[in-house]
Copies of this chain bind each other. A is one copy, B any other.
């Protein structure tokens, strides 16, 4: 049975790394002593070791040990043997490139389908969708494919941002970009605001946190859904 948290962000304004969701994670990871961390997204270009150390520090607060996947000789085996998996944020293209090159897409899909708990934040959540075609990130590397883990039957837009009605900047708003996405792609997109997450348990997909999420479906007007809404019919 799938057991997943897809979080918009690792950090909300004014609090520490993962702090806002730590209580939830204490329950979510209750069966795991050690969490396998995937640091591939390298926010700000930091090293795998540096990134893993940040995550180690955060998880000591709930008494979990963290090991970076880069510490293993065989990453596919590391996934297969993991008690629980966490993929952190950073650059979605860099992350996706590494997952494909290390043959980890299918490896992660297999263990998550069989119940290994998976936590994603930001880029680590983006890859839970069908493709990474709704990432906000800059395409700083060229991955072999934009296909992602497809753990849910739609796409994710993390850090969803409402249009700034005071802005004089002529660049596209997030909503315009997602509308353009639907000019070329059929699947729904869930815009997750910071502090929100999706809780996947088997076939159930529920919006969590205090904020509404914005749902984009091809050919329909976007709509807002309330926390605790069941999203498993979205596809």
Determine whether the beta carbon of A170 is less than 8 Å from that of B138.
no
Determine whether the beta carbon of B140 is less than 8 Å from that of A132.
no
User: Which residues of chain B come closer than 8 Å to A142, judged between CB atoms?
Assistant: 133, 145-146
Additional pairs, 12, CB under 8 Å, beyond known A134-B138, A139-B139:
A13-B169, A44-B176, A45-B183, A93-B139, A94-B184, A132-B139, A133-B142, A135-B138, A137-B172, A138-B177, A138-B181, A142-B145
Q: Which residue of B lies closest to A183 (CB)?
A: B45
- Chain A positions within 8 Å of B, measured between CB atoms, are 9, 11-14, 42-45, 90-91, 93-94, 132-142, 145-146, 159, 161, 168-172, 176-185, 194
Determine whether the beta carbon of B137 is less than 8 Å from that of A168.
no
User: Which residues of chain B come closer than 8 Å to A184, judged between CB atoms?
Assistant: 45, 94, 140-141
Q: Which residue of B lies closest to A93 (CB)?
A: B139
Determine whether the beta carbon of A170 is less than 8 Å from that of B12.
yes
User: Which residues of chain B come closer than 8 Å to A135, judged between CB atoms?
Assistant: 138-139
Q: Which residue of B lies closest to A161 (CB)?
A: B169
Tell me how far the C-beta of A91 lies from the nearest C-beta in chain B, rounded to whole angstroms: 6
Determine whether the beta carbon of B168 is less than 8 Å from that of A13.
yes
Determine whether the beta carbon of A180 is less than 8 Å from that of B133.
no
| A133-B137 CB under 8 A given contacts A9-B170, A159-B169, A180-B45 | no
Q: Which residue of B lies closest to A8 (CB)?
A: B170
From B138, B140, B141, B182, contact of A136 by CB (8 A): B138
User: Which residues of chain B come closer than 8 Å to A134, judged between CB atoms?
Assistant: 138, 140
Tell me how far the C-beta of A20 lies from the nearest C-beta in chain B, rounded to whole angstroms: 11
From B90, B94, B145, B177, contact of A137 by CB (8 A): B177
User: Which residues of chain B come closer than 8 Å to A176, judged between CB atoms?
Assistant: 44
From B11, B139, B182, contact of A146 by CB (8 A): B139
Determine whether the beta carbon of A159 is less than 8 Å from that of B138.
no
